[in-house]
Amino acid sequence: MSQPVIDTLQLCDALRKTGMEREQAEGLARALGNELGTHVAVQSDLESGFQGVRSDLGAEIQQVRSDLGSKMEQLRCDLELKIQAVDAKVDVLRAALMGRMDGLEGRMEGRMDGLDRKIDALNWKLTFMVGGFALLMSVLTVASGMGFFERTPSGPQPPSVMSAAPP
């Protein structure tokens, strides 16, 4: 230790004033000074120790920062790889889904085309049926106008007989 912790001469004088013999006071002051000087830290010792602790702590903090930085970089790389893997899976699923949707769309279009053909066929059938019904109605109207449906005692007569003999 560079500085004495206590003033041994002043301690010796104080002990002599209390009635202690000079040799005892000097011995006690020297022994106490040696013990305290060996085992008690002074301000400069504390400052030097704190400076060492600060340096060590600063170096450890810097090392922790460096370690954290490299670990964070590794985590970022791992996360990017996982994101790319998920993106690739999403792309595969999207392509599969689009393929299935295209297949469904094709089947639906085929069924709709089949229904369109059936509707067209039904339209033609209905047109022929309406035409046939109109023709039948025309024939019946003409026949009725010719008196074919009039009641006679002998029943209906063919048009040629009815026109040849007036009743």
Q: What is the pLDDT of residues 30-71, one digit of tens each?
A: 888 888 877 777 777 788 888 888 988 999 999 999 999 999
Total of domains in the chain: 1
Residue type for position 99:
G
- Report if residue 163 sits inside a domain: no
Taking alpha carbons only, the member of 136, 132, 157, 155 closest to residue 146 is: 157
Taking alpha carbons only, the member of 159, 136, 132, 135 closest to residue 147 is: 159
Rounded mean pLDDT of 150-160?
A: 63
Rounded mean pLDDT of 141-161?
A: 73
- Report if residue 139 sits inside a domain: no
Q: Structure pTM?
A: 0.42
- Report if residue 18 sits inside a domain: yes
- Report if residue 60 sits inside a domain: yes
Rounded mean pLDDT of 137-156?
A: 81
- Report if residue 158 sits inside a domain: no
Q: Answer positive or negative: Cα dihedral of 42, 48, 50, 53.
A: negative
- Report if residue 65 sits inside a domain: yes
- Report if residue 156 sits inside a domain: no
Q: Which residue has the tokens 């000079």?
A: 22
> Token digits for 123?
């339209």
Largest CA distance in the chain: 188
- Report if residue 26 sits inside a domain: yes
Q: How confident is the model at residue 1 (pLDDT cuts 50, 70, 90)?
A: very low
What domain range includes position 43?
8-109
Q: How confident is the model at residue 8 (pLDDT cuts 50, 70, 90)?
A: confident
